[in-house]
């Protein structure tokens, strides 16, 4: 796999790995901890060197898993984690990006990740109670102290990104982006290009929908976040099938998979884009990593783009509570 550069000098694999689902979010855990450690380490065999986690995943359990798995290969990987929540009795109770909290989270994450430096430290959600300049300044101090290498934001507005970047350079912004989630395009992506900031799309496969593995009759079990997302209500999945059918047809003509086509489309948008699809299975990691070898013609890209815009998407990507936390 080739590499890409986020911001001013953070070199990562062109496709990363979102690790959240190994601890939460998509129903019951598929295997024991040792199995997940093996899956994480297997990513390196496919050239994946960029791993994404957060203290709130679990909480804490995902960082601990990533730390255990990657400790033997720490010098070969880039680890991103996130701060920004108040966690009490094992649950997130709201936002908290006060400077003292950022420092507490950094120390905890360093311990759980079994490392002496966090490669990329994101604010997970913008906290309206704390000026973004204070957040950026605090992470800047952690960089000066050698505990963090790069500063990032997640689901922030273009205006907030500009204010943060003016205080301390933002290396990467992480937001949901895919063929069926285009929210960053009008304002965020042009801002990132202007400022030289990398972009890290999470859920680049539409939480599984764009792979064709989620059908109109699929049921979501306990603990699966998709059960609470309007876009995954049955009538919306039916309305959104046309895009997946087009991906499937194109994939067959390219001897690839719908997921690889969706990732290849993302990679073609800009060389500073690095998607982080999540999975709990080594074959899926291999498949996603191989998307870098899928060549799409200008006509293919145009057809995908125009189809997605013409069809639109039925259903919001978050429930009202979570939707209110983005774009600040």
Catalytic residue numbers? Answer: 57
Q: Is the pTM of this model over 0.85?
A: yes
Query: Residue 273: its pLDDT value, please?
Result: 98
Preceding amide of 59 cis, omega within 30: yes
Query: Residue 65: its pLDDT value, please?
Result: 97
Burial track 123-151 (b if 16+ CB lie within 10 A, e otherwise): bbbbbeebebeebbebbeebbeeebbbbb
C-alpha distances (whole Å) from 281 to each of 33, 35, 257 are: 13, 9, 16
Give the three-state DSSP class for 162: helix
Contact between 55 and 63 under an 8 Å Cβ cutoff? The reply is yes
Query: Residue 30: its pLDDT value, please?
Result: 59
Helix count and strand count (H, E) for the chain: 12, 11
Query: Residue 222: its pLDDT value, please?
Result: 85
Q: Per-residue pLDDT tens for 267-284? A: 999 999 999 999 999 999
Query: Residue 29: its pLDDT value, please?
Result: 65
Query: Residue 276: its pLDDT value, please?
Result: 98
Q: Per-residue pLDDT tens for 286-300? A: 999 999 999 999 999
Q: What are the average pLDDT values for consecutive 10-residue runs of the chain, which has 328 residues?
A: 96 98 83 92 98 97 97 98 97 97 98 98 98 98 98 98 98 98 97 98 98 94 92 96 96 97 98 97 98 97 94 95 97
Query: Residue 241: its pLDDT value, please?
Result: 95
Query: Residue 28: its pLDDT value, please?
Result: 73
């Amino acid at each position: 796999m080739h590499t890409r550069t986020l911001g001013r000098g953070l070199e990562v694999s062109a496709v990363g790995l979102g690790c959240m689902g190994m601890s939460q979010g998509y129903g019951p855990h598929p295997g024991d901890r040792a199995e997940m450690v093996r899956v994480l380490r297997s990513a390196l065999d496919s050239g994946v060197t960029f791993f994404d986690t957060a203290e709130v995943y679990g909480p804490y359990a995902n960082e601990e898993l990533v730390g255990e798995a990657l400790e033997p290969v720490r010098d070969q990987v880039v680890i991103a984690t996130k701060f920004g929540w108040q966690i009490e009795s094992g649950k997130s109770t709201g936002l908290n990006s006060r400077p003292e909290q950022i420092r507490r989270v950094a120390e905890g994450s360093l311990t759980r990740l079994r490392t002496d430096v966090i490669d990329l430290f994101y604010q997970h959600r913008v906290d309206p109670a704390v000026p973004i300049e204070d957040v950026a300044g605090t992470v800047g101090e952690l960089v000066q102290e050698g505990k963090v290498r790069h500063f990032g934001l997640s689901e922030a507005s273009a205006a907030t990104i500009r204010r943060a970047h003016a205080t301390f350079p933002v290396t990467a912004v992480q937001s949901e982006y895919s063929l069926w989630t285009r929210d960053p395009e009008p304002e965020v992506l042009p801002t990132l290009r202007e400022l030289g900031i990398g972009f890290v799309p999470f859920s680049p496969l539409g939480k599984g929908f764009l792979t064709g593995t989620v059908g109109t009759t699929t049921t979501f079990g306990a603990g699966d976040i998709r059960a609470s997302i309007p876009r995954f209500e049955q009538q919306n999945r039916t309305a959104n099938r046309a895009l997946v059918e087009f991906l499937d047809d194109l994939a067959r003509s390219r001897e690839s998979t719908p997921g690889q086509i969706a990732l290849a489309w993302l990679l073609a948008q800009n060389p500073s884009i690095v998607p982080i699809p999540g999975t709990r299975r080594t074959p899926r990691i291999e498949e996603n990593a191989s998307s870098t070898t899928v060549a799409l013609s200008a006509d293919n890209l145009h057809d995908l783009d125009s189809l997605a815009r013409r069809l639109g998407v039925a259903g919001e990507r978050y429930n009202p509570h979570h939707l209110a936390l983005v774009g600040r």
